[in-house]
Amino acid sequence: MSFFIPAAYADTAAAGPAGSGFEWVFLIGFLVIFYLMIWRPQAKRAKEHKNLLGNLQKGDEVVTSGGIAGKVSKVAEDFVVIEVSDTVELKFQKQAIAATLPKGTLKAI
């Protein structure tokens, strides 16, 4: 033991948690912020993408998640055939479709 540093002893027992209501308010506030900023927008985006895939038809102009733009020439249950040019057709999974384009967009390119 050091002669220059006196030993510290506890005088009383530790008190219980103070302000226990504040922790609940903080937790509920955190959950509300999580719901509003993360959960709800993600669910909305997923619902819109599901509607987009369900409404795909032959002749729609689409863009894939890889950035390939083309016109839908065939729609199956899980796959879509996209016409990229007059002689090139590519087969994609429906989930790879990122967005539809307005009619006539590809003719302008």
**7-21, 72-86, 93-107: the lowest-pLDDT one:** 7-21
For 50-96, write each residue's pLDDT tens digit.
999 999 999 999 999 999 999 999 999 999 999 999 899 999 999 99
- CA 22, 28, 31, 33 torsion-angle sign: negative
Structural element, H or E, at residue 60: none
For 33-55, write each residue's pLDDT tens digit.
999 999 999 999 999 999 999 99
Residue 67 corresponds to which tokens in the numbers above?
Answer: 């950035």
Alpha-carbon distance 82 to 93, whole Å? 10
pLDDT bracket for residue 6 (50, 70, 90) = confident
Residue 104 corresponds to which tokens in the numbers above?
Answer: 């006539």
